[in-house]
Amino acid sequence: MLEPLWLIPALPLAGFVILALGGTRLPRWAATLTGVGSVGASALLTLVTVVAFLGGLPDTKAYTRTVWTWFDVAGLSIGASFYIDALALTMMVVITGVGFLIHLYSVGYMAHDDGYSRFFAYMNLFVGAMLILVMADNLMLLYLGWEGVGACSYLLIGFWYRDPVNGYAARKAFVVTRVGDTAMAVALFLLFDQLGSLQIQELMRHAASVWTVGATLPTVVALLLLGGAVGKSAQLPLQTWLPDAMAGPTPVSALIHAATMVTAGVYLIARTHVLFDLAPVALTVVAVVGAATLLIAGFSGLCQKDIKRVLAYSTVSQIGYMFLALGVGAWAAAMFHFMIHAFFKALLFLGAGAVIHALGGEQDLSKMGGLRKELPLIYLVFLAGAASLSAIPLVTAGFYSKDMIIWEVFAATRGGTLLWAAALAGALLTSIYTFRMFFLCFEGPLVTPVTHRPGWTMTLPLAVLAIFSLGAGFLEIPHSLGGGVRLFSDFIQSALPPTALIHKREGYEVICQLAAAAAAIGGIALIWWLMLRAPQAGQALARRPAVAALSRFWLNGWGFDRLYDLLFERPYIFLAHIDRHDIVDGFFNLLARLASVLYAWAGATQTGRVRTYAAGLTVGAAALIAWVVWL
């Protein structure tokens, strides 16, 4: 059953080739069929693979299939080979499943766009590259997928190419992530130099046998890989590109900049967790980066005016949770939150897209409002997504995944109270910014009239995602809630080790859960009170000069953009500008000018007058004699 594994990435890639070659000549129905159908078929094949994989457990925990040899030079043999285990399958299910829903949604969302087939071509290419990334059995092929999704992200952020702002956002995304990618490439060079392979499983075995815990080399390698991960996953200090990436069409934001590509960093760290286990320092850095990012992005999310930028900062913040989980060794919790996050964040983005679509392209939250009665279905699914993001206890999937992280950050041997407090504060921030957005969008008076209503291709994916955003949490019900259901952990455990906990008592767990629940509900209550119950108080608070200044600072993402502009962008442009005529060329031209000046001088001596020549001869002879005599 696992033989046609290669078809899973090959189908979307074939879709890309057909769409790219067909271009605008392809009729619309054919473009739709190719674009959506290829990902749909890929999703079906993934499901079949999951069933076959579950049938093989627990005896066979991974399958490897080599399609061909990419290249083989001087001991470096790189195959186009796939490695499928529970971790890869989790990613594949989300990529193809959520990917298919988003493709279906795009049929309605992009229906009136000139670049309809170009859009699906890029989207298919993205899905193919992302599948290669997660299925690769070696770091080189992973890197191919890694850069491939980066290129697709660039192409899709700049999809509406006529606005230079979009082009800038696209190039920013590519260049900033490439800084991280380059660090990751150096990690590959170092790994091959030291361990003689790039095949992931072989590397992990070698690393564990030749490197000791805490040695320099694994730490350096892990930090370099982390460089790649923070770039792709928009974590500190390379987080600046993601909010601007919202320039792309909303389905792109849902698929690439929420559900799949931006979690590639999480996948990379989980995939190479053996290396990180050898480098406790690097793991601590991962946790600190995650905690800092989730707070910084959470504060920024509070103040955004654009609905998509709220969701973008929210994504940065939620991936911060995943990094925090990775950093304390809570591998399963990180992956569980990745999956649940993919559901509810895709839902929120697609819901926001439906709102934007309905309002004729309006993204400004201050021009929204009162949509509850106008778009009841969108209201309901958006509420489900917002509840799941805010982790409303018991009834939402977000609660189970986020609670798992918060608890393990507290209880894990690598965890700590400070990290736990950050996670808890983040939970409070999350519910505040989420429901601020929700209330601005759906409550109050109607501001902008509704012009479009979504068709079934848009509402069906929303409904499906809403069900998953609420229900998928029941895969994993903690003991303290009387469940002890561990379907996801048991599945992922075949690929990732369990978390080492110091606190095992359920009493702690219940307290932890109560605190998290209080943070979530308290946040909603607070923002409800400030916005709907006592709006005057809220407005008075917002008018306080300190609050206003802080909110401007957070609106601009803590000034990172301005800082990087000053530190890197301007100096680079300045250097390029002053040297645009190539100073080296100037030097050679100077030589040429010198030669022509000398030529003119020498030429000037040829006067044709005998007097001058005789004088020259006399002076020369005198000088010669003087030289001979006195020296």
Partner 1 sequence: MILIALIAIPLAGGVLAALLGRHHPGAARWTALAALGLDLILALAGLLPALTRPPQAGPWLIDLGLPWIPSLGIGFHLAADGLSVVLILLTLFLGIVAVACSWREIGERTGFFFFNLMWVLAGILGVFTALDLFLFYFFWELMMVPMFFLIILWGHENRIYAAIKFFLFTQIAGLLMLAAIIGLYFVHGRATGVYTFDYPALLGTRMPAGLGMALMLGFFVAFAVKLPAFPVHVWLPDAHTEAPTAGSVVLAGLLLKTGAYGLLRFVLPLFPEAARAFAPVAMTLAVAGILYGALLAFSQTDLKRLVAYTSVSHMGFVMLAVFAWNEMALQGALIQIICHGLSTGALFVIVGMLQERLHTRDLRRMGALWNQAPRLGGFAMLFALASLGLPGLGNFVGEFLILIGVFPQAPILTILAAAGLVAASIYSLWIVQQAFHGTAREQWRIRDLSGRETAILGVLTAAIVWLGVYPQPVIETARPALAHLRQAPDGAPAPAPEPVAVSGRQGEIDAQR
End-to-end CA distance of the chain: 98
The three-state secondary structure class of 214 is: coil
Alpha helices in 255-306 (DSSP H): 264-271, 273-277, 280-303
Binding characters for partner 1, 210-229, by CB under 8 A (x = yes): xxx--xxx------------
CB of 169 to partner 1, least distance (A): 11
- Rounded Cα gap, residues 269 and 319, in angstroms: 13
What is the Cα–Cα distance from 453 to 438, expressed in whole angstroms?
A: 19
Query: Is residue 600 close enough to count as binding partner 1 by CB under 8 A?
Result: no
Site for partner 1 in 181-210 (CB under 8 A): 181-182, 185-186, 188-190, 192-197, 206, 210
In this chain, which stretch among 86-94, 317-325, 584-592, 617-625 interacts with partner 1, using CB under 8 A? Answer: 584-592
Q: Which of 154, 267, 439, 442 binds partner 1 (CB under 8 A)?
A: 154
The least distance separating partner 1 from the CB of residue 599, rounded to whole angstroms, comes to 14
Q: Which sign does the torsion angle of CA 593, 598, 601, 602 carry? A: negative
Q: Which of 3, 29, 58, 164 binds partner 1 (CB under 8 A)?
A: 164
- Pick from 54, 585, 590, 622 the residue near partner 1 by CB under 8 A: 585
Of 173-181, 276-284, 457-465, 523-531, which segment contacts partner 1 by CB under 8 A?
A: 173-181
Q: Does residue 179 touch partner 1 according to CB under 8 A?
A: yes
Cβ neighbour number for residue 550 with a 10 Å cutoff: 14
Residues 6+ apart with CB under 8 A from 546: none
- Label residue 461 left, alpha or beta by phi (over 0 means left) and psi (-120 to 50 means alpha): alpha
Residues 32-71 that bind partner 1 (CB under 8 A): 68-71
Question: Is there binding between residue 577 and partner 1 (CB under 8 A)?
Answer: yes
Draw the binding track, 6-35, toward partner 1 (x: CB under 8 A; -: no contact).
--------------x--xx-----------
- Smallest distance, Å, CB 505 to partner 1? 39
> Of the candidates 112, 373, 580, 609, which one interacts with partner 1 according to CB under 8 A?
580
Residues for the chain: how many in total?
631
* CA gap 604, 593 in Å, rounded: 16
Q: Is 75 one of the binding residues for partner 1 (CB under 8 A)?
A: yes
Is 202 strand, coil or helix?
Answer: helix
167 lies in the binding site for partner 1 (CB under 8 A): yes
In the complex with partner 1, the residue whose CB is nearer, 474 or 588, is: 588
Q: Which stretch binds partner 1 (CB under 8 A): 259-267, 317-325, 568-576, 614-622?
A: 568-576
User: Which is it for the CA torsion 308, 322, 341, 124, positive or negative?
Assistant: positive
Position 139: which residue type?
A: L
Burial class (CB within 10 angstroms; exposed 0-12, middle 13-18, buried 19+) of 593: exposed
Q: Which of residues 103-122 bind partner 1 (CB under 8 A)?
A: 118
Smallest gap, in angstroms, from Cβ of residue 440 to partner 1? 32
Residue carrying the six token digits 């960093």: 265
Closest CB to partner 1 among 580 and 609? 580
- The H-or-E segment that residue 70 falls in is strand 63-73
Q: Which of 151, 447, 450, 467 binds partner 1 (CB under 8 A)?
A: 151
**Cα distance between residue 68 and residue 178, in whole Å:** 28
- Residue 567 within binding range of partner 1, rule CB under 8 A: no
Contact with partner 1 (CB under 8 A) among 53, 174, 323, 438: 174
Burial environment of residue 168 by CB neighbours within 10 A (0 to 12, 13 to 18, 19 or more)? middle
> Minimum distance between the CB of residue 100 and partner 1, rounded to whole angstroms?
24
From 26-34, 148-156, 368-376, 512-520, give the range in contact with partner 1 by CB under 8 A.
Answer: 148-156
Please state, in angstroms and as integers, the Cα–Cα distance from residue 516 to each residue in 46, 133, 393, 400, 412, following that order. 35, 34, 9, 11, 17
**Residue 587 CB, nearest approach to partner 1 (Å):** 8
Q: Does 500 bind partner 1 (CB under 8 A)?
A: no
Out of 73, 546, 600, 602, name the contact with partner 1 by CB under 8 A.
Answer: 73
Residue listed under structure tokens 């964040």: 345
Rounded to the nearest 5°, which phi and psi values hold at 490? -65, -40
Q: Which of 99, 122, 111 is nearest to 37 (CA)?
A: 99
Distance CA 507, CA 598 (A): 93
Which member of 446, 537, 542, 575 binds partner 1 (CB under 8 A)? 575
Beta strands in 134-197 (DSSP E): none
Among 9, 148, 228, 243, binds partner 1 (CB under 8 A): 148
Interface with partner 1 (CB under 8 A): 20, 23-24, 68-76, 80, 118, 140, 143-144, 147-148, 151, 154-155, 158, 161-164, 167, 170-171, 174-175, 178-179, 181-182, 185-186, 188-190, 192-197, 206, 210-212, 215-217, 572, 575-577, 579-580, 582, 584-585, 587-588
